[in-house]
């Protein structure tokens, strides 16, 4: 067992509007993301099932051609391999849970999140 406090988990500024902290378990990854208004996670897909829980703010998702708005206190599921994108309509804090572990992030294959 290992206990974490988000204030002690190292973070990474991915671009001007997005900051990420991550914890990897044996079979899951959990990430806490701070997205400034106007931040965009471009269309992408991954093998991982994802659950996004929005702590605060408002996010617009497009998932497999369907659009939905998530507000603070709400959560949604994203199936494995579903193409999806996110736009921050307000400053937001989201917690994403992925299964299996985000091996692509561990390898640093996350250029779609970084400044170009």
pLDDT of 116 strictly over 90: no
Sign of CA dihedral 27, 85, 52, 90: positive
Report how far residue 12's alpha carbon sits from residue 38's, in angstroms, rounded to the nearest whole number. 19
pTM across the whole model: 0.93
Q: What is the pLDDT of residues 63-103, one digit of tens each?
A: 999 999 999 999 999 999 999 999 999 999 999 999 999 99
Q: Which candidate, 106, 107, 112, places its Cα nearest to that of 84?
A: 112
- pLDDT for residue 28: 98
Architecture in CATH of 10-113: Sandwich (2.60)
Q: What is the pLDDT of residues 15-49, one digit of tens each?
A: 999 999 999 999 999 999 999 999 999 999 999 99
- pLDDT for residue 115: 72
Q: For the range 8-16, what are the long-range contacts, defined as Cβ-Cβ under 8 Å and sequence gap of 24 or more? A: 14/110, 14/113, 14/114, 14/115, 15/39, 15/113, 15/114, 15/115, 16/115
Domains in the chain: boundaries: 10-113
């Amino acid at each position: 067992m290992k206990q974490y406090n988000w204030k002690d988990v190292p973070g990474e500024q991915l671009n001007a509007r997005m900051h990420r902290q991550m914890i990897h378990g044996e079979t899951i990854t959990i990430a806490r993301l701070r997205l400034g208004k106007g931040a965009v996670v471009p269309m992408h897909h991954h093998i991982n099932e994802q659950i996004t829980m929005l702590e605060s703010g408002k996010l617009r998702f497009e998932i497999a051609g369907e659009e939905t708005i998530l507000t603070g206190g709400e959560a949604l599921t994203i199936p494995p391999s579903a193409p999806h994108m996110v736009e921050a309509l307000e400053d937001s804090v989201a917690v994403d849970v992925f299964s299996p572990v985000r091996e692509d992030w561990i390898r640093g294959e996350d250029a779609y999140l970084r400044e170009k």
